[in-house]
Amino acid sequence: MGAPTAVHGAQSKRQTGSVPTQPWVPWVVLGASGAVGMVLAGTRIGAVPDPHLGLWWFSLPAGGAPLTSILFYASVAVVVGAWFGLGRVALAGGLSLGRAWVVLAAWGLPFVLGPPLFSRDLFSYVAQGLLAHHGANPYTVTPSTLGPGPLLSGVASVWRDTTSPYGPFFVGAGRLVADAGGSLAVQVMASRALELVGVVLVMVSLPRLARHLGTDPGIALWLGALSPLALFSFVASGHNDALMVGLLVAGVTLGVTGRLLPGLLLCALAATVKLPAAAGVAFLAVDAIQARTGLARWRVGAQAVAILAVVVVGVTLLAGYGWTWLGPTALHIPTELRVLSTPSVSLGVLIFSALHPLGIPVARSAVVTVTQDLVAVVAVAAVAWLLFTVRRHEVVRSLGLALLLIVLGSPTVWPWYLMWGVVLLAATGAQRSRVLAAVAAVAMLVVGPSGHPLLLGQWYLAVSLGTVAGVAWLIRGGHWRWVVEGHGA
């Protein structure tokens, strides 16, 4: 009789809006101090143009690079530690929605005001917006045509001669930012503000989704919106994945709570930021189809296809940049950069390293390409299995897993891509998974503060062997269920 009474008491507290008394404020202050330290160090070693040319309105004095790096990573450790401390509060039921907003403001504001960290993509967004502002088509013209200057030096060198790989909704929004004008720092801030719309959508939608699924809204926000991975990738780096994920989570929340059509519409809109969000349309549609019989199934399927088509066609025509974003050239762009943090790349390098001493005449690039293709086929097959068994595992969990499989099976993996699936899984039973918590805590650290990959040289051994060992562990004994259900993992 004791357990039901305790559960009833916890439910009563949540229904009345009260939360257990927890020492949460010290963790907020500690995390905010870590964020400030990261931002100050980032003015010298972050993703800023070189030379700095007084880009930002505040900066540490020049020199002392080793000490600046120590300050940066010590501050990262403080943020991660504060997040884990806040996690204990959340797991005890002490992170209310109001407190979560306070945490986001305290930890996020320094990153909003500071220079880009961990990635130079914000400069790419500004460059693509300026191209559109000047009447050029970002799908056919590259940032290098803007000429030398602080903006081009801020864009990662590998993307200066690359056209935009993003959807027309995001490119059109980037043009509006450029139309507003201002200095480079102001435009970077405005581009980051666009991504903050996605963060707000996550903060508003994720608790509702968690309640619908019977999980804790506070833990969902702790893992899906307040984690180091979320703050560093969505706020500090300002990746457009934030806008895509925000629209996707909002759409899924509407779809599973009985408002299917607007939910499908938002998921389709998310796909015009980044195409993988179209998986949300597919999973919501299949889930709805399986819940119906007869002609109702055909009606739902037709509505899903029609909504996706109308949104894609409408946004593309309104943007006015043509259909290149769906062409083979744009879809091939993510494969152009091979980084060792990508499992398929590291596996390919490992296979080549084993074949080369045997005298087998194969090129390293060919082996990596074949490995990438094989891993992609396996990932697509796994996603298809999840799609057609969606009711067995619940649509949100299945979609979250599918998005993680799409990421891990893709030709290039950056840590912020992991947020596609992590945010959705944060609303499910997987929100208590130690594996997901570890990923959310340290995944961003595979790139340096200036945005350069850190896993170089012989790191392919660790990534490839770790991938094989991880897959074997997940499959053996059904451990993957422990991870997604949050039990024993």
d(CA 426, CA 421): 9
Q: What is the C-alpha end-to-end distance of the chain, expressed in Å?
A: 29
Residue 175 included in any domain: no
Q: Does residue 181 form part of some domain? A: no
pLDDT tens string 324-373: 888 777 666 766 677 878 888 888 888 888 887 777 888 888 888 898 88
Check if the beta carbon of residue 25 is closer than 8 Å to that of residue 86: no
Confidence of residue 481 (pLDDT cuts 50, 70, 90): low
CB atoms within 10 A of CB 64: 12
Name, in order, each residue with C-beta under 8 angstroms of 226's C-beta and a sequence gap of 6 or more: 83, 86, 100, 103, 104, 107
Beta bridge partners of 453: 447
The closest alpha carbon to 216, from 443, 438, 20, belongs to 20
The 10s digit of each residue's pLDDT in 14-54 is 444 455 566 899 999 999 999 999 999 998 888 888 656 56
- In contact, 252 and 421? CB cutoff 8 Å: no
Phi, psi of 405 (to 5 degrees): -65, -40
| Whole-angstrom Cα Rg for the chain | 23
- Beta partners for 447? 453
Q: What is the C-alpha separation between 334 and 352, in angstroms, rounded?
A: 22
Residue 24 DSSP SS3: coil
**Per the domain annotation, does 37 fall within a domain?**
yes
For residue 3, what pLDDT is reported? 38
Cα distance between residue 418 and residue 447, in whole Å: 14
CA–CA dist 475, 393 (Å, integer): 17
* Residue 4 belongs to some domain of the structure: no
Total domain count, the chain: 1
State the pLDDT confidence band at 238, using cuts at 50, 70 and 90.
very high
Higher pLDDT, 335 or 177: 177
DSSP 333-383: GGGS---TTSHHHHHHHHHHHHHGGGT----HHHHHHHHHHHHHHHHHHHH
Residue 347 has, within 13 A of its CA and on its CB side, a CA count of 21
Residue 184 has pLDDT above 60, yes or no: yes
Q: Over the stretch 454-477, which tens digit does the pLDDT of each residue have?
A: 887 777 788 888 878 877 777 776
Q: What whole-number distance in Å separates Cα of residue 141 and Cα of residue 99?
A: 45
Q: Nearest Cα to 68, choosing from 87, 86, 46? A: 46
Residue 64 belongs to domain spanning: 23-120+186-485
Burial of 84 (0-12, 13-18, 19+ CB in 10 A): middle
Q: Does residue 330 belong to any structural domain of this protein? A: yes
Name residue 113's amino acid: L
Least confident of 23-32, 53-62, 255-264, 479-488: 479-488
Q: Which amino acid is at 55?
A: L
- Evaluate whether residue 132 is within a structural domain: no
Average pLDDT of the segment spanning 181-190: 87
Residue 413 has pLDDT above 80, yes or no: yes
Amino acid symbol at 19: V
Select from 241, 251, 324 the least CA-distant residue to 281: 251
Residue 362 falls inside a structural domain: yes
How confident is the model at residue 361, as a pLDDT?
A: 80
Whether 90 contacts 216, CB under 8 Å: yes
CA distance 394 to 215: 13
- The 10 Å Cβ neighbour count of residue 120 is 23
Residue 299 has pLDDT above 70, yes or no: yes
- 257's CB contacts (< 8 A; 6+ apart) are 208, 209, 212
Distance from C-alpha of 348 to C-alpha of 369, rounded to nearest angstrom: 8
Position with higher pLDDT, 224 vs 486: 224
What does the pLDDT read at residue 334? 66
**Crossing angle (nearest 10°) for helices 184-213 and 168-179:** 140
Q: What is the mean pLDDT of residues 124-128?
A: 94
pTM equals 0.89
Give residue 53's pLDDT: 57
Whether residue 5 lies inside any domain: the answer is: no
